[in-house]
A = this chain, B = another copy of it.
Amino acid sequence: MTQQLDWAKGFLLDFALDTGASHGATPTKRNLSQMQDMYQDAKAAARLVAGGDPLVYEFYELGAPEHAGDLAFGTSIVYPGKVGDEYFMTKGHFHTVLDTAEVYYCLAGKGGMLIENPEGDTNFFELTPGQAVYVPKRYAHRSVNTGTEKLVTFFVFRGDAGHNYGAIETEGFRKLVVDCNGAPVLIDNPKWAGGGA
């Protein structure tokens, strides 16, 4: 049941500290079939989709006003799993208003935040419970679950920031996060060819 949210007068909304789940709002779900081409190993992705199309992540879109003085917030829940060697992850995006930051606070699980800016600076911040990561202005960002439990983060960004998937939808990030003997490593993304040029 989704509660009415009064952005002009304020409201309370629950997000469980262990699972990120809310009683008052409905999450948006992303199954593998909705982002199948974003993974490197097309055969492994096809097998997983055919075998049941696993849920990769879910998150809350509360409908914050698209106003620079409002804030969008909620939790993001990335499930554990891999497509071939590549960890389950969110689609990732730039903000449409590129010059806006985002804060993520890790509540549960193990993983990281992969970021890159248009000039090619990339980084991977490892997340464990109690770690906050500052995603600066101008950086695309993607959550990656490198553990065996759900990766749960609480996020906040400007209400008018928007989501720009752009070239990330087709070419992905410059780096992939893959499992190498049980530990996450960053490798170059062979599909990436200059940001959609």
- Using a CB–CB cutoff of 8 Å, the interface residues on chain A facing chain B are 5-17, 67-71, 73, 97, 99-103, 105, 107, 115, 121, 123, 125-127, 129-137, 139, 154, 156-159
Contact = CB atoms under 8 A, between A and B. Distances in A.
Q: How many monomers of this chain does the complex have?
A: 2
A9 B132 contact: no
A3 to B, nearest CB: 12
A187 to B, nearest CB: 20
A74 to B, nearest CB: 8
Nearest to A123: B10
Contact of A17 (B67, B102, B130, B157): B130
Contacts of A68: 68, 158
List 3 tightest A-B contacts by C-beta distance, closest first.
Answer: A156-B156, A69-B99, A69-B100
A137 B15 contact: no
Given A12-B125, A71-B157, A136 B97 contact: no
Contacts of A16: 130
A117 to B, nearest CB: 9
